[in-house]
């Protein structure tokens, strides 16, 4: 396999981390933004941006409201996919995988690290539900502030989703649309990663 240069290495998670840290130096904002795809019960896809908060040794983690549309779709299907694209680097990473909740101490620690306003906002927003007015949301934040004080616990309906990939593709722009693509696939039997170069 002629995989070298920016694609070198045996660990796709380490490679994703390396690309993300390069993007942190060159993107104007949110280098960790990912377009997250889910499907509803009819197989109709849905996408939206979220922020990737952690690249673990074998998983990717973001945070959200479990009762949101994405939360419910992930809960029902147990699957998700995402793409991260960096215009400044002319590169993308695509991930598909199985999901699980991260709603233990790691989620508590991440919630506690957020600003107080964000922590209260997580309590106040019934994410993805209809909202009568902005005023109603501001009133809800005021109510939550009065009842939850300055050290709110993580809401039980809010936490992390861990995506445990079965496929990861690294893509880099090449001259005349002859891009480089390498797909890493988890081989069923022994949990080892297989890599293949793909046509652009």
Which residue in 6, 18, 20, 33 binds ligand FMN (CB under 6 A)? 33
Name the catalytic one among 101, 114, 177, 197: 177
Catalytic residue status for 177 = yes
Which residue in 77, 128, 145, 166 binds ligand FMN (CB under 6 A)? 128
Indicate the SS3 state at residue 199. Answer: coil
Three-class HEC string of the chain: CCCCHHHCCCCHHHHHHHHHHHHHHHCCCCCCEEEEEEECCCCCEEEEEEEEEEECCCCEEEEEECCCHHHHHHHHHCEEEEEEEECCCCEEEEEEEEEEEECCHHHHHHHHHCCHHHHHHHHHCCCCCCCCCHHHHHHHHHHHHHHHCCCCCCCCCEEEEEEEEEEEEEEECCHHHCCEEEEEEECCCCCCEEEEEECC
* By the rule CB under 6 A, 30 interacts with ligand FMN: yes
Q: Which is nearer to ligand FMN, 70 or 119 (CB)?
A: 70
* By the rule CB under 6 A, 49 interacts with ligand FMN: yes
* By the rule CB under 6 A, 48 interacts with ligand FMN: yes
Which residue in 3, 20, 54, 69 binds ligand FMN (CB under 6 A)? 69
- Residue numbers 130-189 binding ligand FMN by CB under 6 A: none
Q: Which is nearer to ligand FMN, 49 or 198 (CB)?
A: 49
Distance CA 168, CA 152 (A): 37
* By the rule CB under 6 A, 127 interacts with ligand FMN: yes
* By the rule CB under 6 A, 67 interacts with ligand FMN: no
Which residue in 31, 70, 111, 182 binds ligand FMN (CB under 6 A)? 70
**Catalytic annotation, residues:** 177
Binding site for ligand FMN (CB under 6 A): 30, 33, 46, 48-51, 62-65, 68-70, 127-128
């Amino acid at each position: 396999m002629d995989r070298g240069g920016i694609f070198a290495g045996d660990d796709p998670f380490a490679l994703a981390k390396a690309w993300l840290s390069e993007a942190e130096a060159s993107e104007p904002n949110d280098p960790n933004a990912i377009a997250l795809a889910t499907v509803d019960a009819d197989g109709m896809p849905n996408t939206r941006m979220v922020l990737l908060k952690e690249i673990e040794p074998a998983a990717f983690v973001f945070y959200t409201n479990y009762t949101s549309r994405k939360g419910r779709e992930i809960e029902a299907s147990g699957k998700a996919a995402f793409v991260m694209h960096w215009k400044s680097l002319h590169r993308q990473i695509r991930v598909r995988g199985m999901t699980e909740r991260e709603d233990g101490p790691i989620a508590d620690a991440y919630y506690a690290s957020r600003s107080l306003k964000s922590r209260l906002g997580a309590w106040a927003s019934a994410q993805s539900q209809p909202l009568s007015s902005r005023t109603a949301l501001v009133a809800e934040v005021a109510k939550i502030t009065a009842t939850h004080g300055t050290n709110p616990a993580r809401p039980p309906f809010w936490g992390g989703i861990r995506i445990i990939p079965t496929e990861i593709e690294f893509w880099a722009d090449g001259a005349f649309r002859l891009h480089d693509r390498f797909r890493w696939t988890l081989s069923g039997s022994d949990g080892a990663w297989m890599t293949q170069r793909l046509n652009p």
